[in-house]
Amino acid sequence: MRVFKSIMSWVVPIVIGLLVATIIRYFVFTLVRVDGPSMEPNLENNERVAVVKTAKIRHLSVIVFNAHKVDPIAKTGVKYVKRVIGMPGDTVKAQDGKIYVNGKVVSQKFISQFERTQGTGNWDLYALGNRNEWADKTVKVPKNSYFVLGDHRSVSNDSRYWGFVPAKKVIGVVKVPLWDTNATRRHNVNSLGY
C-alpha cells in the first residue's frame, strides 16, 4: 500500500498538469509557427507566436485561421496568419496605397510606404468580387466574416484573391511574446487593434 501511495503521489500531479495544459491549449491559447513572408516586416518566416483564442478580434488585429476551404488551394490543416482590415458590415477599398474602411483612411504605420504602394493595388470589395468571381459579390464585409490582408502586400495571398474569412474558421488573435526583443514589431502585432 505504501508503494502505491508513493507512486500515486507523483502520478496524480503529472496527470492533473497534463489535463490542465490540454484544456489551456484547446480553449485559451496555443503556439503557431509563421510560414512565409506575407506578414513581414512584423512577423518573420518560421517565427513562433502565441495565438490567444479568447482575445477579441478588432480592426488591425493579426489573426490565425484555418485556410482550408477559405483559400481554394489551401490543403486540410493549413493555417494562415493575416491582419484584419474589414469587420462585418464594413466597406473596404484601396486607392493609391491607402486603405479606406467605411470611407475613412486607415493608418498603416505598421508597414512602409513602399509596402503600402507596391502591393496593395486599387480596388473595392465589389470590384474584387467581380475580378475573382467570388460567389458572394458584395460592397460590404458579410456578417460573421472578416476581410484580411498580409502586411507584405506584394507577396501576400489574402482576401483580395479568395474573399472573406468566416468567423468560425478563426482560431485566435496573434500575440508576439514579451521575450521578443523588437518592441516595434511587438507593438505592431499586439497593440494596434481598434
Catalytic positions, written as ranges: 38, 82
Nearest to 187 by CA among 47, 62, 86: 62
Residue 193, amino acid = G
| Cis omega (within 30 of 0) for bond into 41 | yes
Alpha-carbon torsion angle 193, 38, 46, 164, nearest 10 = 60
Residue 67's Cβ-count burial label (10 Å; 0-12, 13-18, 19+) is buried
Let me know: does 49 contact 34? Beta carbons within 8 Å.
Answer: yes
Angle at Cα 102 formed by Cα 126 and Cα 58, nearest 5°?
105
